[in-house]
Structures are given as C-alpha cells and as structure tokens.
Amino acid sequence: MIKNHNDNLFLLIKTLTKSEKRQFKLYVGRIDGSADSKFLNLFNVIDKAKTYNEKEILALAQIKKQQLANIKAYLYKQILISLKLSPIHQNARSQIREQTEFSTILYRKGLYKQSLKILDKAKETAIDNEEKNLVYEIVELEKLIETQYITRSIKNRAEDLIEQSEKFSHLNRIATQLSNLSLKLYSHILQSGYIKNQAEKDKVLNYFNAHLPKYNLRDLGFREKLFLYNSHLWLSFLIQDFKSCYKYSKQWVDLYNEYPNMIGLNPVWYLKGNQYLLESLFYIQDHKRFELVMSDFEQQIDQKSFPSGENIESLLFLYLYTDRLNLCFMKGEFDYGLSLIKDILKGIKIYKNKIDEHHIMVFYYKIACLYFCVGDNKACISYLKKIINNNALVMRSDLMCFSRILSLVACYDEGMDYSFESQLKSTQKYLHKMNELNTVQLKIIEFLKKLPDIFPHDKKDAFKNFIKDLKPYESEPYERRAFLYLDIISWLESKEKNIPVGQVIRQKFLERDKTYS
C-alpha cells in the first residue's frame, strides 16, 4: 500500500531539516533511554524511505500492523513537541504563551503574586507585539486571580483590569469582523475571479458595507489596520479598481515600515502585502515603480534577519517567479521569460505539497502565454491542456475559461483545423454552462468561428476591423477583465502586420516607456 501523498507522518518527516532530525533524536534520548524504541525505529525507516510503502515499513521497523496506527500517532506528536522546543520555531507569540502557561501553573499552586508578576511581563510583551488576543487572555486570567487575591498595593486594580478587558475585547471584535470580511472577499476572488456585471458589483458592495465595522482609525493598531487594508484591497481587485489596489497594498506595506518588528512575527503577511503591491503595479502597467518595489523587496528578504522556513521558502518561490514573469510580460522580454521556465517547473516539483493547485495552474497559464507570444503554439497548447484537463480544479472559473479561449487561438495559429473545430464547439458549450460568456468572449468566439471561411486576401482587413470592434471594450468596467487574461488586441495586430505577437507587445512597451520618460 503506497500513500506517498496522503500520509501525514511521511510528509512531516520529509520536511525536517538535518538539524531538526538531530534535535529530534536528542529529544528522544531524553524522554526514552531505549535506543531501539519502536517509534524511533519507525522514524528512521520512514526517514530513509522514498515512498510510503506500508508493507515494507512494517517489516523494516519490526512493527505489527495492529500497532502501527498508535505508534504513528505517538511519533507524530513527539516530532511536533521536538519542533516546538527548537529555537528556530520560537517567537514572541510562543514565548508569551509559554509565560502564560507558567503563570497558570503558579496560580494553581496558590502562588498568586508570582503568577501575576509573570502575567504582567507577558502582557507588556503582548502589547508591544500587537498580540491583542493574547493580551485579552492574560487580562481575563488576571481578573480570575484577582477574585482570589486582591493586590491592595495597586490602586484601582479592578477598574484598570475591567477597562483593559473592554478595550482589547472591542479591538479584537473589530479585528475579527475585518478578518472575516477579508476572507469572504478573498474567497470570492478565488472562486469566481473579477465581478462580471453591475448586479454582482452591487451585491459585493452591499456585503462589504454591511460587514465593515465602525471604527476610529486612530484607535486601531497594527493588526486591525492590516485587515482593514486587506479588505479594501480584495474589494478593489474584485471591482477591478487597480489604482485603489495600489493605494491599499501600499498602505499594507507601509504599515510594516511603521511597525518593522512585525515582519519577524508576521512574515507571511509581509510577503503577501509586497506581492499584491507588485501585482497592482503590473495591472496598471507601471514597470518603473514595479522594478523599484521589487528591488526593495528582494533586498529585504535577502537580509540575514529575515525569517526562514519551508513555508517562507515556498511563498518566496511562488511570489518571486510570478513577479519575474509579470515583468517579462510588461516589458515584452519573452526570451528571458522562457529562461525562467526550467526553474519554475523545478520549484513546482519541490514545493508541490506546499503550493495549492490554483497557483500551479496560474504558472501553467503564464508559461502557455510565454510560448504563445514567441510563436510556439504546440508548447502553449500542451500547458493549457494541463489546466483544461484538470478536473480537480474548482477555483477561478475565469482562468479555466480563458485557457480554453487561448487554446482555440493557438490551434488556429498552428493550423490544427480538426482540433480547432472540435475545441470551438466544446468551448462554447463550456462557457454557456459556466455562465461566463460576456460580450468580448462572445465576439472572440464568433470571430474565430468565421475565420476559416474568410478568403486569405481578406483576412488582413478582417483582423483590422475586429480590432476596431474590440477597442471600446478595453475601458468597459465589466468587459475589460477579458483583456487582463488574454491580450487579444496584440494578437490581432500581429496578424494584421504579419509579425510575431511578442514583437507587437515589445513595441507597445517601448512606446509607453518613451512616453513615461
């Protein structure tokens, strides 16, 4: 029985570094003097195994099948405890929790004064690190202790604790409401992509306004502001207001500049903030500011003090290569983009258990677009098939739809007549089924359907006229999303001028750059 991708213990052991494995064995030596403990044998066998084969593991670890489940559960727990004790996984949050646990032990032993002293220091650390949930927990524990031991040396002790409890309860409630709002909007982006019509926009705005809590910006700390900017950013992305996306993502990053100690405690949010700032600049096609932000970002993450770990590594791979590809598309530097593909595919293989399927499919779409821009239509189609044939992909229906449309265009360019006709029918059927057929998509499908019947000497005019037909939709609020996924105008211009589509995009960039300068 092979469960390589489904066995949690196997996956956990395979993520351990050499130092973490060494620390685990030292930890085991302290809790169990027996060097041949069954769970340690199991650890060693799995550590050496390339795949999880239960039959082989039982034989090598000398464990009976009926014992395996309990030993695996115990081993899993001991590995987590060992990792928890590692200095690498210690931060202010874990230290505060540890101090709170120590205080609880002292309280149960009736050592109230010692317990309160530890809690006071822990609360101060929690406030400094914007850990308001922990502050609230500490205040509630202080209140419990005060019901049995009143510290008469401090005036108005009860009133102070009540005031603190109400203050942090209020801020935590705001943070919770904002984080819930942020998550709901982000979920909408993943499932459906950008809004498609006025009715959807009204629904999203009504939801946003109904669930945005009342607040005074001056009273908010780091965490509350983070979720506030977060929520506004997702809303801006949904309604395709990319200038507002830039505004709120910049406020998100600036927040970390205001609270630099938060980078170490919340590195994932720091990475995400920079990524969305860069993505916003990509959508507004501001390549110069994009390169400046990217340079600052890379300098920050290259510092020795920047947090590390498998999660950070996988996110850095995802974000840095996404940004590099986006810069290639902005500047029309497709040969450089092609040079990144080998490293991207290697990274996908390394981090496949840490990157969700949606982001892998986005990589495939961008790689397909690279090949399309340099005229390698067969390679383009092969990567689009990875998306189109992915039955497990339930997120981003718009990504699936535009993959099908780009595949159609690539089939036409490659002269794959039979594939073109069959794909045209299946794409139309799919778009109707998904209720994704907007005006631009409908026009593209209708144009592609007519193309094979147009005489060769008339095609140049057909492409030219279709460009004029599509141009007005680039500024239409609910139609322009089509141009974000597929630069159909540049493709049409390439056919009209009889030059590669990549060359058209590069020329447009050079013209913009000249104007920008």
Parse the chain into domains and list their residue ranges.
8-89, 92-154
User: What is the reported pLDDT for 477?
Assistant: 78
Beta bridge partners of 424: none
Kindly report the average pLDDT of the chain as a whole number: 87
Indicate the pTM of the whole model.
0.80
Say which amino acid occupies 269: W
User: What is the reported pLDDT for 315?
Assistant: 94
Q: Which of 107-121, 242-256, 381-395, 457-471 has the highest mean pLDDT?
A: 242-256
Cα separation, 252 vs 333, in Å, equals 30
Say which amino acid occupies 407: S
Say which amino acid occupies 474: E
Neighbours of 243 (CB within 10 A): 10
- What residues contact 337, with CB distance under 8 A and at least 6 apart? 324, 325, 328, 329, 370
**Which comes out higher in pLDDT, residue 5 or 230?**
230
Cα separation, 401 vs 426, in Å, equals 11
Asked if residue 334 has pLDDT above 90, the reply is: yes
Mean pLDDT value across residues 44-55: 88
Cα separation, 448 vs 501, in Å, equals 17
Please say whether the beta carbons of 203 and 184 come within 8 A: no
**Which of 234-238, 349-353, 370-374, 378-382 is predicted with the least confidence, judged by mean pLDDT?**
349-353
**Closest C-alpha among 116, 92, 94, 95 to residue 104:** 116
| Residue range 94-128, pLDDT digits in tens | 888 889 999 988 888 888 888 889 999 999 998 88
Mean pLDDT value across residues 129-146: 86
Please say whether the beta carbons of 103 and 122 come within 8 A: yes
| Residue range 342-358, pLDDT digits in tens | 999 999 999 988 888 88
Asked if residue 248 has pLDDT above 90, the reply is: yes
- What residues contact 489, with CB distance under 8 A and at least 6 apart? 467, 470, 471, 474, 483
User: What is the reported pLDDT for 5?
Assistant: 46
Please say whether the beta carbons of 332 and 505 come within 8 A: yes
Indicate the pLDDT class of residue 40, thresholds 50, 70 and 90: confident
> C-alpha dihedral over 474, 478, 484, 485, to 10 degrees?
-120
3-state secondary structure of 393: coil
Asked if residue 299 has pLDDT above 50, the reply is: yes
User: What is the reported pLDDT for 1?
Assistant: 35
End-to-end CA distance of the chain: 63
Please say whether the beta carbons of 155 and 136 come within 8 A: no
User: What is the reported pLDDT for 52?
Assistant: 87
3-state secondary structure of 56: helix
Q: Which of 29-43, 151-165, 297-311, 427-441 has the highest mean pLDDT?
A: 297-311
**Which comes out higher in pLDDT, residue 326 or 482?**
326
Mean pLDDT value across residues 271-297: 95
**Which of 40-54, 380-394, 434-448 is predicted with the least confidence, judged by mean pLDDT?**
434-448
Q: How many percent of the chain have pLDDT more than 90?
A: 40
Number of Cα atoms under 13 Å in the Cβ half of residue 443: 19
Mean pLDDT value across residues 47-58: 87
